[in-house]
Structure 1
């Protein structure tokens, strides 16, 4: 996976932000809005976990109460 990340045309932090934003948009669409909703975000280690954390942060900006659960420590 590191080779794929290194070959990406954008820096890793940009890709993580875009992925997290896309997940947050999909969740908001599924919920029909965000304010007052509750969502648990299960994250792992590495970039995929970072995507989930970005999604949780963006959902929080839209009024969603998020709980981030780190699978590595669960």
Structure 2
């Protein structure tokens, strides 16, 4: 069983990496990019029977900084 966790900075939190990517894209001639938000994806290989609730608990305790980040869990079967 696998789970995919997508983690992004919450709206209103400064994203310096995203801004650096936006600037670099402009420098390369991609002028249509007005904003970039950068996040991370974590894929977990789980033991059979591991629930989404357990994965959310992992996010709350370790994987995401819930003060500044939001996360989304996708159970892949």
TM-score (norm 2): 0.29
Please state which structure has a larger fraction of its residues in strand.
2
RCO higher in 1 or 2 (8 Å CA, sep ≥ 6)?
Answer: 2
Please state which structure has a larger fraction of its residues in helix.
1
TM-score (norm 1): 0.30
Asked which structure has the greater CA Rg, the reply is 2
